[in-house]
């Protein structure tokens, strides 16, 4: 074997020192989830700065010829005091601050490691330590030492993806505080004995800092809280700031800005309170602050402890399919979704069984390859998270996200990356039939659309324990009794006809009432059900419904199978509604009520959605437009530009040469011809989501296409090919069994925590990030996303 010094000299030209902007992967293998803590450690190429586990470094050497690697190993130090009493348990130290990773907040595990670093030369794996370098020539010692130091000092790619701290109590100074207008109305507020001036409530009271009005706070989704009188007062007067009575102390108080829609700081609060006779220095706290209320919610026994199965000794599990995933800082939504997806045979076959082929075909930088990263289910999915979130305004951040939205985002990525070969997302894809019946003419219209998730409504009025909950509200007790909703009531709400009050009927050429019924046109191999727990309150603030639903282990949806056009049933004529146009026919812009559009935009809805709401409700006012928005928020083209019949941006005007090849390929991968994909994109201004919906709504038109959109003549099209294919969906019996569910803890999808339970070999297993244990009491009634698989007949 050659002298190691001579070997280093021979490869010295390939050893680089990291420069600003270089991506250094020193925490995770580019081909697996191996890390410096894994067996064998991590080998970082000293030329490309890609990291590889012990099982893959030889393969990288063989493919690239690179020989010098920095070998990093870490050994976990034993903790003197472990604050967690068991898997899934909340920290023993009670949090006093709505924060993560800082004093007083919720604890975050901070591991301590001993680290060993040396250079390894392949293929013989000759080792060079820092002591060895000291005996070598100056030129070798300088270059190698600088490279080692640069790699170790550089921020790893994963470091930029992690959030170590989050403080929910950091509040900003209100823009209204400095120059707040206060009325000289002579009003003086007593130090106690407050009541709402409208409804006489004696708790959850807020004093407006402009006029001194004492009014109750917001009503919560379960009927508790106030009656919205403070909010209504702001909407009538535009007086922005209010202080929560009972929270005033010499140290401060809860101040809310209705205009800024957030808790804020008021640096002039003592002066503002003194205006109404309140001496801040003598006040004592008598009500829980909003922070204390939220901490109480985050700790309440109904969610965090039950879902994580705290209070029981959970048996840790190990082995294939039982590997946990580290939380990278609000990445539990990703961990839970990926754990479930990789129990589905289609995803295992595509990304696990095929691993050798995937790695052999991986590009020079595997960290940017979807197929390679899709294979990885293991310890800390930093590269995978960075890849699937790249370019997305939410999933590229470290904020908490909605697991359902991420699931759809990931399925969309799978669709784009599986244009040839097996597509595992087909396991979830199904067709929905929508039947709309005009109540005036009794004629019907049938459309089909593709979907991946069933969104199940939660009818709160069907709770079986309303009496017990009403008793708590009457006694002004905290709402600890969870609403119990029968699953059958949710299914009934899903299947019952929806009344459309502003339906334009082509049969009567006018707006009238119609009913819409939704049924399954196909049943997928695997069915995902989302419980619609997140909704809007009366003040349009997002709310989470705290409900218990008796979700069954088996499900039979046969009764919801679509039947198509009924015998003797007449169809509505295919005539488009007349657009709202100005009298000047040369001007194609719609006449829209700008004030209504502005009001909707101020509520936070996208501009194009607001324009469509006003257009499709015929400028009939804010209430009608708001109802339209709430009824179409789940539409895939909700935020897409408004396209009008006859407008230059309308259907059929997008030239073929401007169509996105990526969009064309995505639609073709779903089983349609290029001609059909072209027609769909041209009909929807090249918007992919709208094109997919359009193509499923016009299957009959596509099957009778007599002119090819791809450049061939009609005769060539008719005589030279088979009939156009339909959508590529699987179908079978609508009988299913539950095999997994994802649960959410917290008040919003933007905060809190996700865990998943998966049934493996007839045993329920809880995956709580990297903790994997046998489940003792799976909380199936508190899930958010439920996953079913078809039961063979």
Contact 715, 767 (CB under 8 A): no
Residue 196 labeled ligand binder: yes
Count the domains in the chain: 5
399 and 436 together in one domain: no
Q: Can you give the length of the chain in residues?
A: 793
412 and 440 together in one domain: no
Q: For the chain, how big is the Rg over CA atoms in Å?
A: 31
Q: Tell me the pLDDT band of 713, cut-offs 50, 70 and 90.
A: very low
84: left (phi over 0), alpha (psi -120 to 50) or beta: beta
Highest mean pLDDT among 96-100, 652-656, 789-793 belongs to: 789-793
CA 320 to the chain's CA centroid:
28
291: left (phi over 0), alpha (psi -120 to 50) or beta: alpha
Please indicate whether residue 632 is annotated as part of the active site.
no
Closest CA to 779 of 606, 525, 536, 548: 548
For the chain, the 3-state helix, strand and coil shares in percent, each to the nearest 5, are 30, 20, 50
Q: Tell me the pLDDT band of 447, cut-offs 50, 70 and 90.
A: confident
Q: Is residue 706 part of a domain?
A: no
**Catalytic pick among 29, 45, 332, 610:** 332
- Range name among 103-117, 233-247, 478-492, 614-628 with the lowest pLDDT average: 103-117
Burial of 192: CB neighbours in 10 Å, binned 0-12, 13-18, 19+: exposed
Q: Which of 534, 560, 586 is the last residue of a domain?
A: 560
438 and 503 together in one domain: yes
Residue 708 pLDDT: 30
- Kindly report, residue by residue over 400-426, the tens digit of the pLDDT: 678 898 898 888 888 777 766 788 999
Q: What mean pLDDT is predicted for residues 120-127?
A: 93
Q: Which of 560, 579, 602 is the last residue of a domain?
A: 560
Instruction: Give the 3-state secondary structure of residue 647.
Output: coil
Q: Is residue 464 part of a domain?
A: yes
Residue 221 labeled ligand binder: yes
Residue 446 labeled ligand binder: no
Q: Is residue 270 part of a domain?
A: yes
pLDDT > 60? residue 296: no
Residue 333 labeled ligand binder: no
- Range name among 114-118, 155-159, 342-346 with the lowest pLDDT average: 155-159
Report the predicted TM-score, pTM, of the whole model to 2 decimal places: 0.56
CA distance 98 to 90: 15
**CATH for 405:** 3.90.70.10
**CATH for 27:** 3.30.40.10
Instruction: Give the 3-state secondary structure of residue 219.
Output: strand
CA distance 425 to 388: 15
Question: Domain containing 384: what range?
Answer: 331-427+731-790
Residue 332 pLDDT: 85
13 and 131 together in one domain: yes
Q: Is residue 587 part of a domain?
A: no
CA distance 192 to 176: 27
What are the start-end ranges of the H helices in 646-731?
661-669, 674-683, 688-697, 699-703, 714-719
- Range name among 298-312, 353-367, 688-702 with the lowest pLDDT average: 353-367
Residue 490 labeled ligand binder: no
Residue 125 labeled ligand binder: no
Q: What stretch of H or E contains 145? A: helix 138-153
- Kindly report, residue by residue over 610-630, the tens digit of the pLDDT: 888 888 877 777 877 887 887
476 and 447 together in one domain: yes
143 and 268 together in one domain: no
Q: Is residue 178 part of a domain?
A: no
CA distance 577 to 571: 16
Q: Is residue 721 part of a domain?
A: no
Q: Which of 632, 660, 694 is the last residue of a domain?
A: 632
Q: What mean pLDDT is predicted for residues 74-103?
A: 53
Closest CA to 14 of 70, 71, 68: 68
CA distance 116 to 261: 51
56 and 152 together in one domain: yes
Residue 636 pLDDT: 65
151 and 19 together in one domain: yes
Q: Is residue 648 part of a domain?
A: no
Closest CA to 12 of 124, 117, 133: 133
pLDDT > 50? residue 714: no
CA distance 380 to 719: 55
Residue 258 labeled ligand binder: yes
Task: Give pairs for 462-468: CB < 8 Å, separation 24+.
Answer: 462/486, 462/489, 462/493, 463/547
Please indicate whether residue 753 is annotated as part of the active site.
yes
Residue 482 labeled ligand binder: no
69 and 115 together in one domain: yes
Residue 219 labeled ligand binder: yes
Q: Which residues contact 291 (CB under 8 A, 6 or more apart)?
A: 97, 98, 168, 169
Instruction: Give the 3-state secondary structure of residue 571.
Output: strand
pLDDT > 60? residue 584: no
Q: Is residue 53 part of a domain?
A: yes
- Kindly report, residue by residue over 749-783, the tens digit of the pLDDT: 667 789 999 999 999 999 998 889 999 999 999 99
Residue 704 pLDDT: 46
SS (HEC) of 184-206: CCCCCCCCCCCCCCCCCCCCCEE
254 and 336 together in one domain: no
- Range name among 50-54, 112-116, 137-141, 276-280 with the lowest pLDDT average: 112-116
377 and 459 together in one domain: no
**Catalytic pick among 610, 753, 756, 757:** 753
493 and 479 together in one domain: yes
Q: Which residues contact 23 (CB under 8 A, 6 or more apart)?
A: 49, 157, 367
More confident: 624 or 510: 510
């Amino acid at each position: 074997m050659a002298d190691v010094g001579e070997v280093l000299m021979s490869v010295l030209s390939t050893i680089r020192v990291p420069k600003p902007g270089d991506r250094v992967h020193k925490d995770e293998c580019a081909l697996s989830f191996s890390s410096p803590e894994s067996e064998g450690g991590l080998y970082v190429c000293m030329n490309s700065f890609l990291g590889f586990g012990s099982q893959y470094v030889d393969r990288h050497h063989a493919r690239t010829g690179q020989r010098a690697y920095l070998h990093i190993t870490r050994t976990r130090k034993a903790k003197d005091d472990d604050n967690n009493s068991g898997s899934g348990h909340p920290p023993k130290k009670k949090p006093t601050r709505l924060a993560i990773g800082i004093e007083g907040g919720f604890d975050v595990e901070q591991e301590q490691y001993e680290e060993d670093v040396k250079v390894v030369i392949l293929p013989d794996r000759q080792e060079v330590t820092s002591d060895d370098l000291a005996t070598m020539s100056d030129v070798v010692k300088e270059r190698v030492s600088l490279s080692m130091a640069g790699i170790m000092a550089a921020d790893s790619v994963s470091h930029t993806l992690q959030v170590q701290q989050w403080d929910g109590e950091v509040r900003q100074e209100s823009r209204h505080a400095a120059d707040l207008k206060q009325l000289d109305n002579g009003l003086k507020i007593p130090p106690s004995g407050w009541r709402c001036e409208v409804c006489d409530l004696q708790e959850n009271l807020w004093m407006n800092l402009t006029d001194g009005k004492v009014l109750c706070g917001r009503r919560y989704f379960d009927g508790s809280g106030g009656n919205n009188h403070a909010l209504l007062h702001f909407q009538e007067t535009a007086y922005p700031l209010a202080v929560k009575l009972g929270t005033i102390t010499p140290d401060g108080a809860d101040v809310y800005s209705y205009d800024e829609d957030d808790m804020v700081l008021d640096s002039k609060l003592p002066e503002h309170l003194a205006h109404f006779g309140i001496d801040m220095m003598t006040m004592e706290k008598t009500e829980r602050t909003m922070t204390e209320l939220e901490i109480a919610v985050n700790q309440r026994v109904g969610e965090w402890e039950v879902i994580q199965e705290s209070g029981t000794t959970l048996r840790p599990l190990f082995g294939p399919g039982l590997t946990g995933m580290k939380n990278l800082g609000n990445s539990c939504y990703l961990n839970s979704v990926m754990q479930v997806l990789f129990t589905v045979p289609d995803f295992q076959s595509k990304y696990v069984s095929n691993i050798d082929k995937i790695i052999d075909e991986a590009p020079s930088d595997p960290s940017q390859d979807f197929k390679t990263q899709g294979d990885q289910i293991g310890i800390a999915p930093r590269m995978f998270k960075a890849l699937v979130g790249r370019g997305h305004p939410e999933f590229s951040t470290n904020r908490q996200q909605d697991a359902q939205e991420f699931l759809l985002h990931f399925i969309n990525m799978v669709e784009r990356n599986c244009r040839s070969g097996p597509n595992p997302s087909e396991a979830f894809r199904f067709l929905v039939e929508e039947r709309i019946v005009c109540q005036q003419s009794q004629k019907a219209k049938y459309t089909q659309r593709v979907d991946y998730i069933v969104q199940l409504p939660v009818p709160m009025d069907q709770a079986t324990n309303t009496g017990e909950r009403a008793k708590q509200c009457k006694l002004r007790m905290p709402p600890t009794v969870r609403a119990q909703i029968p699953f059958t009531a949710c299914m009934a709400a899903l299947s019952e006809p929806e009344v459309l009050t502003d339906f334009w009927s082509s049969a009567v050429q006018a707006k009238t009432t119609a009913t819409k019924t939704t049924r399954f046109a196909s049943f997928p191999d695997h069915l995902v059900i989302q419980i619609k727990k997140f909704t809007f309150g009366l003040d349009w603030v997002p709310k989470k419904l705290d409900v218990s639903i008796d979700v069954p282990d088996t499900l039979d949806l046969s009764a919801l199978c679509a039947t198509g056009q009924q015998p003797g049933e007449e169809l509505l004529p295919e005539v488009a509604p007349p657009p709202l146009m100005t009298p000047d026919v040369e001007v194609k812009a719609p006449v829209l009520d700008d004030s209504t559009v502005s009001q909707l935009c101020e509520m936070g809805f996208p501009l194009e959605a607001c324009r469509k709401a006003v257009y499709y409700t015929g400028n009939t006012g804010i209430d009608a437009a708001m109802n339209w928005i709430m009824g179409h928020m789940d539409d895939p083209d909700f935020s897409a530009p408004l396209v009008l019949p006859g407008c230059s941006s309308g259907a059929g005007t997008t030239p073929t040469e401007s169509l996105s090849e990526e969009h064309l390929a995505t639609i073709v991968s779903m089983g349609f011809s290029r001609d059909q994909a072209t027609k769909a994109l041209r009909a929807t201004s090249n918007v992919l989501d709208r094109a997919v919906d359009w193509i499923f709504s016009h299957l009959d038109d596509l099957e009778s296409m007599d002119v090819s959109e791809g450049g061939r003549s009609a005769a060539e099209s008719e005589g030279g090919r088979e009939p156009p294919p339909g959508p590529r969906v699987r179908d079978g019996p609508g009988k299913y069994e539950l095999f997994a569910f994802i649960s959410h803890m917290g008040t919003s999808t933007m905060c809190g925590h996700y865990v998943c339970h998966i049934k493996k070999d007839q045993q329920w297993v809880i995956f709580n990030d990297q903790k994997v244990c046998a489940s003792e009491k799976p909380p199936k009634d508190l899930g958010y996303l439920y996953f079913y698989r078809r039961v063979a007949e």
